[in-house]
Amino acid sequence: MLKTFKIGGVHPPENKLSAAGKIQVLPIPEKVIIPLGQHIGAPAKPIVKKGDHVLAGQKIAEAGGFVSAPIHSSVSGTVKGIEKRLTAVGAMGDAIIIENDGLYESVEYAPAKLSDLSKEDILKRIQEGGVVGQGGAGFPTHVKLSPKEPDKIDHILVNGAECEPYITSDYRRMMEEPESIVGGLEVILKAFPKAVGCICIEDNKPDCIAKLTELTKNEPR
């Protein structure tokens, strides 16, 4: 069976039909449905109840274990209930239903300079922020960044490859918000001082390569 595959894998034709379409902001929803299981591992546990008023950015569910992540509200408004809803993986799961008041009143956020943060501070902020991977499994990022032997980490790879023939979301992100990508890599490198960073981009994206090469030309790591 393996002998039928050519060395280098399968390379279907590219159909980057949406490559020229810029990232857009979706219309304001009247109601949001926020699943408690948006990541691999234990679902988050709700800390709000029906009738509560919440702010945008407010934590509405806490992590259900180490391999789990807290969840925050994307809008301000009133919690209408916690109900079973169909999730993206095709299973029913608990979700917090919030009626959007359209005001987007948000919680106070305390920014910090990266130079002032320790590795422990960085990991705590990532964990408390509910950051998870976007590759499909939704693996909690703070778990990924807690290896048994952190001193052995010598490279941090940023995956800018789009293996699927139709996907263009990575391309648009690199073209429109490259500073965020470089800034995120700087945060991770601060947590792993012995590592260097590599932004991995396919050679079919020369404009992305040029843009990020220019942005990182003065970054020794």
* pTM for this entry: 0.86
For 83-92, the pLDDT digits (tens) are 999 987 788 9
**Residue 57 carries which side chain, given as an amino acid letter?**
G
- Is pLDDT at 208 greater than 90 in this prediction? yes
**pLDDT value at position 141?**
93
Radius of gyration of the chain (CA): 20
Residue where the block lists tokens 């608990």? 94
**pLDDT value at position 2?**
60
Rounded-to-integer distance, Cα 168 and Cα 17, Å: 8
Least confident window among 19-33, 40-54, 128-142, 185-199: 128-142
For 131-187, the pLDDT digits (tens) are 998 877 788 999 999 999 999 999 999 999 988 899 999 999 999 999 999 999 999
Which among 125, 85, 89, 119 is positioned nearest to 191, based on CA atoms? 119
Q: Cβ neighbours of residue 28 under 8 Å, at least 6 residues apart?
A: 100, 102
